[in-house]
Chains A and B, each alone.
Chain A
Amino acid sequence: MDGFSYYNIFETKGMEYLIIITFLALLIPFSIILNRKVKIRRQLRKAMGILNTGMLKIPQGVFHSRNHTWAHLLKSGVANVGLDDLLLHITGEVNINCLKKPGESIAKGEVMTEIDHEGRHLKIFSPISGTITGANTGLADNPGILNEDPYGSGWIYKIRPSDWKADTSSYYFAEAATDWSKRELEKFRDFLAATMPKYSPESSMIALQDGGELRDHLLPELPEGVWQDFQKVFLNPGYRWDNERELRKV
């Protein structure tokens, strides 16, 4: 740049633009491949039997109540009700005992069924009020359907609702249900951390594997005391649990 002969300060600009084009072209496959691995990890975890939100089936058209029951209004005006997938993953395969018969009426918050596993039971409360028009008798013979298809053929009762809108107004729907399930899983983790030391200090080891992952179908391996606390915290209507200190008071 002596001022006496030709000098181009922008000599390399053409090359630079070519490098940019190459970069952008490579960035697309690079980021696609980078993100694809995450899916494989999730599938691995599912295969190893680790409980995570990736494995939950949460259909979008169904109302979820806080007590892990769901209700879905059909076009005929009758609603199906049942247990949600998260609860069934926690409890594993259970036997179901329908307490109500068709023709009877039921109120929201009334006990509608009991599920039990080797003597330990949990009471399930109805999400809506109305008249029972049908009960799924097939579940008694083949309880596995509950876990396989909790929202479809695993329905528990058909109820003609008396006040659908009022009953479901505070329930979770669609994406909100997905977010809520994630939070419930976290809540379950905290719940375990709070209760396990009370009942059996060593068994806290069973719940968590390396890396702090929860195992699938965990509840059957835990002591009776945990089942009772689980009932209070997760299934009883009206219970609000915001932190573990509350639970220690229970």
Chain B
Amino acid sequence: MSENYPVTIDNDGKSIWKFLLSELKPKGKIFTPFNIISVPIVILGLVLIVIRFWKGIGSITNLTQDVPWGLWIGFDVVTGVAFAGGAYVLTFMVYILNMKKYHSIVRVTVLNGFLAYVFYAGALLLDLGRPWNVINPIIGNNFGVNSVLFLVAWHFLLYMIAQLIEFSPAIAEWLGAKRIHKILSGMTIAAVIFGITLSTLHQSGLGALYLMAKEKIHPLWYSEFIPIMFFVSSIFAGLSMVIFEGSVSHKVFSKQISNEDHHAQTGIIMGLSKICAGAMFAYFFLQVLVFIHEKHWDLLNTPMGYWYLLEMLGFVLLPMMLFYFSYRRSNILLIRIAAILTMLGIILNRLNVTVIGFRWDAAVHYIPSWMEVAVTLTVIFTEIWIFRWVINRMPVLRDAPSWAKKQE
């Protein structure tokens, strides 16, 4: 069980640099299927990134003057951040509502959230035309306080810091730093409260980015309620990602997980599916409300209308019913299928607002180039590599060392 992985070494007497260097060596098999697929794509992606900086964004993307934001913003940033919403929902449940049942998965979810934000904010730098000026809104040249994007950018920064603080006790345990661990653990609740507030605002903020594109987004997806829709859907998007990623991690890293945590997994998934069902129920009715308010009945009988119905009925209503029924029948497999359907629905929704529904009437429709897809995959795979590196070394899935538990 946990004997395969060394308990955190108290490295008094061993230099920190030697320790860090030794941790850089790979653990486990080199030629796993994931490695074989991901390495060539990552290398390709890096080459493409060099070309992007040498010849401009247009050389590897299909962005046009009508559609300036494409896959990188619509998928990497907007959808990726929605999926990282599990972190704020779970920390809310565990630290604010004191639902101790979910305590064992908080760390891995916060890690996931932190890495997601770091990598998607990083991917954002690729999309910027003049990334060296990205420090301008940070240092005050100028503070564009009138801009929703200014708000979103600052929140990303602050939220990454909050998540780092929330996760840092695990790093302290890995390094054996006892005193720092105590200080960081004391800051957890403040970081959690700050993080939940920030999350609420930037999840809805990503939706608010599109408020000014009033006539440019298809009327079935544009409303003044986009921010609220994005916020509510981020709740079940994040939890579905937690269910999905939890199922994968439990199989891949099963050696690290204690028996109790394995048994607790079922209970946790059932609980999360219940919350998802409830959130999706509310979200569906919000959508109905907005639809009635905007009075776009005549648009339903168009190709875009059918697409809208597909998204709402096939990827919101259907997984909601699946979550509901599979919870009542305690069917874990169905819950996992529902989670995947929900995630597809979120991808669909975000892409509909940001790319597919954006200038749907443009002369030249935007379709991402294979190079954009390759770079996106590069970002995702690199994130998974770092995730795996951390899980194999820090006490995220396995129990914290005893000295850390005693401090609580």
Contact = CB atoms under 8 A, between A and B. Distances in A.
A126 to B, nearest CB: 31
Chain B interface residue bracket vs A = under 10
B145 A10 contact: yes
A14 B145 contact: yes
A9 B146 CA distance: 8
Contacts of A17: 145
Interface residues of A, number: 8
A28 interface: yes
A28 B193 CA distance: 11
B145 A13 contact: yes
Interface in B143-178: 143, 145-146
B146 A13 contact: yes
Contacts of A10: 145-146
A28 B187 CA distance: 11
B123 to A, nearest CB: 27
Interface string A1-42: 000000011100110010000001000100000000000000
B145 A28 contact: no
Contacts of A24: 194
Interface string B341-370: 000000000000000000000000000000
Contacts of A9: 146
A35 to B, nearest CB: 11
B190 interface: yes
B407 to A, nearest CB: 14
A24 to B, nearest CB: 7
Interface string B183-195: 0000000100010
Interface string B120-147: 0000000000000000000000010110
Contacts of B146: 8-10, 13
A28 B194 CA distance: 11
A13 B194 CA distance: 20
A13 B154 CA distance: 14
Contacts of B194: 24
Contacts of B190: 28
A9 B147 CA distance: 12
Nearest to B190: A28
Contacts of A14: 143, 145
A17 B145 CA distance: 9
B138 to A, nearest CB: 14
Contacts of B145: 10, 13-14, 17
A165 B258 CA distance: 22
A24 B162 CA distance: 14
Contacts of B143: 14
B185 to A, nearest CB: 16
A17 B154 CA distance: 12
A196 to B, nearest CB: 36
A24 B193 CA distance: 11
B187 to A, nearest CB: 10
Nearest to B147: A10
Contacts of A8: 146
Given A10-B145, A13-B146, A24-B194, 5 more contacts: A8-B146, A10-B146, A14-B143, A14-B145, A17-B145
11 contacts: A8-B146, A9-B146, A10-B145, A10-B146, A13-B145, A13-B146, A14-B143, A14-B145, A17-B145, A24-B194, A28-B190
- Closest 4 A/B residue pairs (Cβ): A10-B146, A13-B145, A14-B145, A10-B145
